[in-house]
Amino acid sequence: MSEPLLRVKGLRTEIPGGPGSVVAVDDLSFDIHQGEILGIVGESGSGKSMTALSIMGLVAPAGRVTAKRMEFDGWDLTGLDEAAMRRLRGREMAMIFQDPMTSLNPVLSIGFQLIEQLRWRLGLSRRQARRQAVELLGRVGISGAERRLDDYPHQFSGGMRQRVSIAMAISCEPKLLIADEATTALDVTIQAQITDLIMRLCEESGMSVMWISHDLGVVAGLCDRVNVMYAGRLAESADAMSLYAHSRHGYTRGLMKSVPRIDRRRQRLEAIAGRPPSLIDLPKTCPFEPRCAYSTPECGAKPAPRRNFGENHIAYCWADLPAEEGVE
C-alpha cells in the first residue's frame, strides 16, 4: 500500500492539572490514506476531539502533545512550529465542528467570511474570490449562491450553515478534513444530506476525512474504516464491514448493543454498566475491564495485547469474543 496521508504513531496528549495530569490520548497509532474516510467512535471524553486537536496542533498551551511519529503529507508534525502549522491549517488540513449555529461569525456575511479566507489564503483578487465563493457554495449544495453570499449566518438553517462551514473548510482544497461531530446537532434527514455531501466531495477531490462521531449508524454508512476509542486509547480498529460484522473488543460489542434496532422491537437496550474511568493515573491494563461483560482474569493483570484479526482488523483485548450475538 502507498504511503498514508497521515501517519500517527504513539500519540500522547497530556493536560496538566491540579491533582495530576489528564492523559486525554494515550499511545494512539493510526493511519489515514488518501481518499479514505476514517471514523473515530467512542463516548464523550474518550479522546476523539483531543486526537483531532493534537493533529491540528491546537492543544498548546493547555496541554502537551508527544508522538513517536506524526507525519502528514511528508511533513513531520512533531517538529513544526506554530507558524508552519498555521500554514498547514486551512490549506492542507481543515476542520468543521459540531454546532453549525455558532461556527460562523454572526456579524459577518457568509460571503465576507468565505471571500476573506480565499483572498488571504490563496491570494485571489476580490473578483476571483467572489466567483470562487459562489462556486464553492454551489458545490456544497446551496442554491442561489450568488444571492445568498450577502446573507448573514442567522438567515440560514442549521443544515445550510453546516454546508457553509464545509464550504469554508474545503475552500483551499485541503487534503484532510476533520469533522468533529459534524452532524450531531442536525436532524436525521439533514444528517444524511451532509454525509452524502462529504462522500461526494471525497470522490471529487480525493480528500481524506477523519469523521469523529458517537453515532455508529452514521459511521457505518459513511466510513471506510473505523477506530473505536475508549479512555484515550485505541480499543479496536477495522474496516467498517468487518467491525460491524464481528467486533473483537468488549467495548465495541457494548456500543453496538446499545444502539436501538428496528428489527428487534421488544428487545431491551443494553446499556454499558458503570461510567468511563477518570483519565488521571489510569492503569496500564485495559481501561474498559471494570465494565466489560467479557473480562477474563488476565484483563485486570496485564496490559491488553494488540491482536490481529485478519487484514486491517486489530483489537486490544484479551478475551475471545463469541462469534455472533445477533449483531451483524
Partner 1 sequence: MSAVTFAPPERSNSALSLASGQFLGNRAALVSFVCFVLITVACLAAPLIAPYDPVAISLSDKLQAPGMAHWLGTDYFGRDVLSRVLYGGRVSLMVALLVVVASTLVGVPIGLLAGFAGGRVDNALMRIMDAFLTFPPLLLAVAIVGVLGPSIENVMLALALVRVPVFARIVRSSTLSIREETYVKAARVLGSGWVRILVTHVLRNAIAPIVVQITIVFAGAIVSEASISFLGLGAQPPSPSWGRDLNEARRFLEDAPWLLFGPSIAILVSVLSVNFIGDGLRDALDPRAWQTLRRATARGSAAQGATPGRSQ
List, in order, residues 6 or more apart from 323 with CB less than 8 Å away.
Answer: 246
- What is the C-alpha separation between 198 and 203, in angstroms, rounded? 9
In the bound complex, what is the minimum distance in angstroms from residue 154's beta carbon to partner 1? Answer: 5
Under a CB-based contact definition with an 8 Å cutoff, are residues 208 and 34 in contact? yes
Nearer to partner 1, 92 or 215 (CB): 92
In the bound complex, what is the minimum distance in angstroms from residue 168's beta carbon to partner 1? Answer: 6
Under a CB-based contact definition with an 8 Å cutoff, are residues 230 and 42 in contact? yes
Interface residues toward partner 1, by CB under 8 A = 56, 58, 86-91, 94-97, 99, 101-109, 116-117, 120-121, 147, 150, 152-155, 165, 168-169, 178
In the bound complex, what is the minimum distance in angstroms from residue 177's beta carbon to partner 1? Answer: 10
Nearer to partner 1, 58 or 293 (CB): 58
Using alpha carbons, select from 16, 13, 23 the residue that is nearest to residue 284: 23
Nearer to partner 1, 121 or 291 (CB): 121
- What is the C-alpha separation between 297 and 327, in angstroms, rounded? 25
Nearer to partner 1, 170 or 256 (CB): 170
In the bound complex, what is the minimum distance in angstroms from residue 90's beta carbon to partner 1? Answer: 3
In the bound complex, what is the minimum distance in angstroms from residue 101's beta carbon to partner 1? Answer: 6
Using alpha carbons, select from 247, 178, 256 the residue that is nearest to residue 238: 247
Nearer to partner 1, 15 or 282 (CB): 15
In the bound complex, what is the minimum distance in angstroms from residue 282's beta carbon to partner 1? Answer: 27
**Helix (H) / strand (E) containing 25:** strand 22-32
Nearer to partner 1, 5 or 182 (CB): 182
In the bound complex, what is the minimum distance in angstroms from residue 120's beta carbon to partner 1? Answer: 8
The DSSP output letter for 152 is: -
- Strand-pair category, 6-15 with 64-66: antiparallel
Cell of 90: 486551512
List, in order, residues 6 or more apart from 8 with CB less than 8 Å away.
Answer: 28, 29, 30, 31, 55, 67, 69, 70
Nearer to partner 1, 157 or 258 (CB): 157
- Strand-pair category, 208-213 with 37-41: parallel
